[in-house]
Each structure stands twice: as structure tokens, then as C-alpha cells.
Amino acid sequence: MEKLWTGRFHKALDSQVNDFNSSISFDSRMYAQDILGSIAHATMLQKGGILSEQDAEQIVSGLQAILEDIQSGALQIDPTAEDIHTFVEAELTARIGDVGKRLHTARSRNDQVALDLRLYLRDQISEVAALVRALIEAVTDKAEEHAETVVPGYTHLQRAQPIVFGHHLMAYAMMLLRDLDRLHDCNKRMAVSPLGSCALAGTTYATDRAFSSKLLGFEKPCENSMDGVSDRDFAIELASAISILMMHLSRFSEEIILWCSWEFKFIELDDAYSTGSSIMPQKKNPDIAELVRGKTGRVYGNLITLLTMLKGLPLAYNKDMQEDKEAIFDSLDTVKQCLAVFAPMIATMKVLGENMRRAAAGGFIGATDCADYLVKKGLPFRTAYKIVGEIVAHCIENGLTLETLPLAEYQKFSPLFAQDVFAAIDLDACAKKRISYGGTSPDSVRRQVQYVREALQTAE
Ligand code: ARG
């Protein structure tokens, strides 16, 4: 395919350089955005009298036909084209003749590519957001089911205090809700049109950038043409929001992997969402969670690629910026794949409440409540803490637990202990009486569920 810029050159491009320079293999996915951007541009040119009505009509219908033909498969994108912008323009000219060459008036590929990328990423944000929502719903439904299922809460991966499993899950729902918010937030700054910035300096034609911006669903045109063509912070912001989202999924994955182990056995993944081993017949592996955890690394890598690619670039456009696309596209593809399997994995997992309960009963998980018991009887917390520490040490030495230690023994440590201590350290009571706002009590978990469902309803 002939280059757009052959006029100044005496020789064809070296074929290896051609391959090296070409971006069609990855920017062809923006064909629809490229064509819609061109339609808006031609419409604007016609409105301003820069293109005749007849020329504009031919261009617009030619572009619409190209879009339909690519969508239907009737037109294949030429893999030897330099990029998607070149391909569409050349195809248009091949179809409608010289009038097609008028489309690129008052525009450059520099503002065109910045526009296409923003349009494409805006569409992608909606897709990712829909998947995040579905995951939040799955997590929230599971949490509601398990608003009373007692499980150990951990710090330092040591049993700390009893909680209900729904509370643990709702912590992830809150993180994911912020991820959703971050995605919407990216969209706010992405909703600014660079179209009409031209190569870098704007144009002498009487363009109406506000008009083309509106046609494409942007909030407004960008204020500075150099910024419009040079900036990719919108892609970095999205790569960063996706990285944070992946970090949350990765933490969640790590827990799922632990919970599936025989050491925990808190959950069992559905057969459709786990895999077997080629040699060990007993194995049921949490591959999805492991892959999500593993893929988080490449998503972080893409963020660093983008930050590093831009950090030394002088204004305005430099070809380095062509490297933006593969990185952000890979982050999007990866996060979408992960979310698509994560939500049904959560929805179908079996929660083994009995095992959770057994683990919660095993440690000295009621120790804080035992100390609080003494505080309620008048002791300062520090003193109570020390007494309970001594009781725990005594139990460990004698193979006892706080539940099995006889009252008489308790009383040797403090005369304030009475029969009601056993009710105070009862597992269910310990989890369920933490009624403080945001605490683990079942009512609090149900309130959180309500909060998240309402937030999902009001979110754009
Ligand atoms: N393929 C290029 C990119 O992705 C399009 C912009 C080309 N502009 C230029 N001045 N060479 O960045």
C-alpha cells in the first residue's frame, strides 16, 4: 500500500523498517473509532464550509460503508498498511476517488490517533466497569448468604478475632466499589477531545472543535493543541486504575488459594472453575486464582511501560508514543479476562462453614473478649490484657482452651471471673456482638450489603 507521505521521498521504505514501523497489527482494533472520528471531522468541515456539501456526503457515506464492510467481514484490514488511519483513508480514496483525499484537511494523524485512543478507551472503560459490577454483585450475594457464618479473622495470618465470613467478603466488595469509582473517574478526564489539534499547533482553517467534540460525545475540546497530541496521561491513569483493581483481585486470589488448601479447607471451588493435575489424581487446583495473581505482574509491567515511555519525551508527538497501545490494550484484555472468570468462580464456590467454625474455635480467638470481660468488671485494659495472656500461656502448657478451662482455674488468675465468662467468650457471641459501625456483626454486614447495592444503583 502506498505511503501517505511519499512526496518527499525518492526510495521505498526498507521492508524490515516497514514492519518495524507499522502499527496496524495492534491499532486495527480501533477501526470503528477511527471511522467515527473521521465522520465527525468531515461533518464539522462541511458545517464550516471547508468541505462542500457534496464532498462531505460522499466522504461520510463512503466511511459508513467501510465501517459496515469491516464489521460484516466483507472488507479485510490490509496487514501491510502502516496503521489503521492510513488504511481507512486509502480505502476511502480507492472507493470514492480523489474526494477521499480531502478528508485529511485540518487534521493530522497526531490528533487522529490521540482521538481514536480516547474513544476506544472510553468504550473499554464501560466494558470493564460492567464486569466489575458483576463481580461486586457476586461477592455481595455470597456475603449476604454468610452474614452469620463464623470464621477466624486474621492478622499476620495468625488467628486474631472471630468474624463472620460475609464481613470478610464485604471488605473486597468495598475495594471493588472504589475500583469502579476509579474507572468512572478516568472517564471524566478522558472525555476531552483532541480532534482539531492537528499536528501540534492547531490550524488556519475555521474549524469548530466544540462541534466535532460534541458529535463524538466528549464534554469539550482540549484547551491546548500541543497537550492534545502529546498527552497520554489518560491511558496511564487507566493503566493505574486497572493495576489497583488487579492488585485487589490478586489479594483475593491469594486468599482463595489458601482457603482451598487442605490446611484451611474453608471453601471448595466448583469443578467448572478448578483444574486437575496430570499426575496426582487427588489434586483440585485453584488455577483461575493463581493465574489472576500471576497476571497482575504483567498489568503492573504495562503501567511502568507507559510511564517510562513518556517520561523523557519532548513535546509534541514522537513515534515512541505508538508504544502506548499494546501496553494499555494488554492491560484491558487481561483485566477483562480475569473479571469474566472471577465472578462466576465466586458465585459457584462452596463455603465450608463447619470447617471455618472449627478453625475459629481452635485458637485463643476469644482472648480479646476475655480481656474485655474483665474490663467490664472494672479492671484497666492493660491489666486485663496481662491476666488473659497468662491464662493463654497456662492453657497451652496444659492442653486446654479458654472454653475448656474450669472456672476455678480462671479464678486463680482473677477473682472477677464468674460463670458468665463462658458466655462472654462464646464464639458466636464474640463475632456477633461487634455491632460498632462497620464491624463484623451480622446486622452490620447486612447494612454493608445494602450500602453496596445502593451505591451500584446510583453509580453511572
Ligand atoms: N501509528 C501512529 C501511532 O500510533 C499514528 C500516528 C503517526 N503520526 C506520525 N506523526 N507519524 O502513534
Tens of pLDDT, residues 371-382: 999 999 999 999
- Per-residue model confidence as pLDDT tens digits over 211-226: 999 999 999 999 999 9
- 23: exposed, middle or buried (Cβ count in 10 Å: 0-12, 13-18, 19+): buried
What pLDDT does residue 276 have? 73
Catalytic residue, candidates 25, 61, 261, 277: 277
d(CA 297, CA 243): 9
CB-side neighbour CA atoms (13 Å) of 382: 0
Residue 109 Cα to ligand 1 middle (Å)? 6
List residues near ligand 1 (CB under 6 A): 23, 27, 83, 109-110, 113, 317, 319, 321-322
- Contact yes or no for 46/52 (Cβ under 8 A): yes
What pLDDT does residue 3 have? 72
* Sign (positive or negative) of CA dihedral 130, 131, 136, 141: positive
d(CA 164, CA 447): 14
What pLDDT does residue 5 have? 66
Residue 35 Cα to ligand 1 middle (Å)? 16
Residue 279 has pLDDT above 70, yes or no: no
Question: Nearest residue CA, atom 3 of ligand 1?
Answer: 322
Residue 184 annotated in active site:
no
d(CA 40, CA 215): 6
- Per-residue model confidence as pLDDT tens digits over 363-416: 788 999 999 999 999 999 999 999 999 999 999 999 999 999 999 999 999 999
Residue 319 Cα to ligand 1 middle (Å)? 6
Cell of 104: 485529511
Residue 210 has pLDDT above 80, yes or no: yes
- Per-residue model confidence as pLDDT tens digits over 291-335: 999 999 999 999 999 999 999 999 999 999 999 999 999 999 999
Residue 234 has pLDDT above 80, yes or no: yes
Cell of 137: 454483585
- Contact yes or no for 421/407 (Cβ under 8 A): yes
Confidence of residue 439 (pLDDT cuts 50, 70, 90): very high
Ligand 1 mutation target, pool 19, 84, 113, most atoms within 8 A of CB? 113
Residue 156 annotated in active site:
yes
Catalytic residue, candidates 10, 15, 156, 278: 156
User: Letter for the amino acid at 404?
Assistant: T
Cell of 391: 491464662
Count of CB atoms situated within 10 Å of the CB of 32? 16
What pLDDT does residue 9 have? 79
What pLDDT does residue 459 have? 78
d(CA 432, CA 417): 22
Average confidence (pLDDT) over 221-233: 98
Confidence of residue 460 (pLDDT cuts 50, 70, 90): low
Ligand 1 mutation target, pool 34, 83, 115, 315, most atoms within 8 A of CB? 83
Cell of 393: 500461656
Q: What is the chain's mean pLDDT, rounded?
A: 95
Count of CB atoms situated within 10 Å of the CB of 244? 15
- Per-residue model confidence as pLDDT tens digits over 115-144: 999 999 999 999 999 999 999 999 999 999
Average confidence (pLDDT) over 144-157: 97
Residue 277 has pLDDT above 90, yes or no: no
d(CA 393, CA 314): 66
Of residues 145, 139, 164, the one with CA closest to residue 153 = 164
Ligand 1 mutation target, pool 109, 118, 200, 329, most atoms within 8 A of CB? 109
Residue 175 Cα to ligand 1 middle (Å)? 37
- Atom index in ligand 1 nearest the CA of residue 23 equals 1
- Atom index in ligand 1 nearest the CA of residue 199 equals 10
What would the 3-class secondary structure string for the chain be? CCCCCHHHCCCCCCHHHHHHHCCHHHHHHHHHHHHHHHHHHHHHHHHCCCCCHHHHHHHHHHHHHHHHHHHHCCCCCCCCCCCHHHHHHHHHHHHHHHHHHHCCCCCCHHHHHHHHHHHHHHHHHHHHHHHHHHHHHHHHHHHHHCCCCEEEEEECCEEEEEEEHHHHHHHHHHHHHHHHHHHHHHHHHHCEECCCCCCCCCCCCCCCHHHHHHHCCCCEECCCHHHHHHCCHHHHHHHHHHHHHHHHHHHHHHHHHHHHCCCCCCEECCHHHCECCCCCCCCCECHHHHHHHHHHHHHHHHHHHHHHHHHCCCCCCCHHHHHHHHHHHHHHHHHHHHHHHHHHHHHHCEECHHHHHHHHHHCCCCHHHHHHHHHHCCCCHHHHHHHHHHHHHHHHHHCCCCCCCCHHHHHHHCCCCCCCHHHHCCHHHHHHCCCCCCCCCHHHHHHHHHHHHHHHHHCC
Question: Nearest residue CA, atom 10 of ligand 1?
Answer: 110
- Atom index in ligand 1 nearest the CA of residue 85 equals 5
d(CA 123, CA 232): 17
Residue 196 has pLDDT above 90, yes or no: yes
- Atom index in ligand 1 nearest the CA of residue 325 equals 4
d(CA 430, CA 35): 62
- Higher-pLDDT residue of 454 and 430 is 454
Phi, psi of 160 (to 5 degrees): -115, -65
Residue 458 has pLDDT above 80, yes or no: yes
d(CA 399, CA 410): 15
Whole-model pTM over 0.75: yes
Residue 392 Cα to ligand 1 middle (Å)? 68
Question: Nearest residue CA, atom 11 of ligand 1?
Answer: 319
- 396: exposed, middle or buried (Cβ count in 10 Å: 0-12, 13-18, 19+): exposed
